[in-house]
Amino acid sequence: ELDAHTDINTREFIKASRLVSSITGMNVQANKAIVGANAFAHSSGIHQDGVLKKRDTYEIIDPAEVGVGASQIVLTARSGHAALKHRLEELGYVYEGDELDRIYTAFLDVAD
């Protein structure tokens, strides 16, 4: 660490980025680090699994520190069992083993 202090309020990064974008008429790329719409969105299976196990593996900054409510696990055809299981649990459903495998197979049929 540099042991330096600034009065920068990092929680305003997103708001500031959007303000600059609206004034200049230049859109922020969705994949732009920290301020892009997808900066804290995770859609790849191995990536999602890593985030679910240890968030700071893929997120060096807490989304709340830059004005983003939370990161997102986005279910896609590239998502793995862990992401689907996580989402189901968020919705109040708990599935394991063969039952989860069947649901995952059906999920892939509609996700692809």
- Tens digits of residue pLDDT in 29-60: 999 999 999 999 999 999 999 999 999 888 98
Q: What is residue 69's predicted lDDT score, i.e. its pLDDT?
A: 86
How far, rounded to the nearest angstrom, does the alpha carbon of residue 88 sit from its chain's CA centroid? 17
Q: pTM here?
A: 0.79
Residue 41 lies in a domain: yes
Residue 17 lies in a domain: yes
Residue 38 lies in a domain: yes
82: containing domain: 10-111
**Which residues fall within 8 angstroms of residue 59, CB to CB, at 6 or more apart?**
40, 51, 71
C-alpha distance from residue 102 to each of 63, 96, 105 (Å): 34, 10, 5
C-alpha distance from residue 16 to each of 5, 9, 11, 44, 81 (Å): 20, 10, 10, 29, 37
Residue 105 lies in a domain: yes
- Tens digits of residue pLDDT in 59-108: 989 999 999 988 999 999 999 999 999 999 999 999 999 999 999 999 99
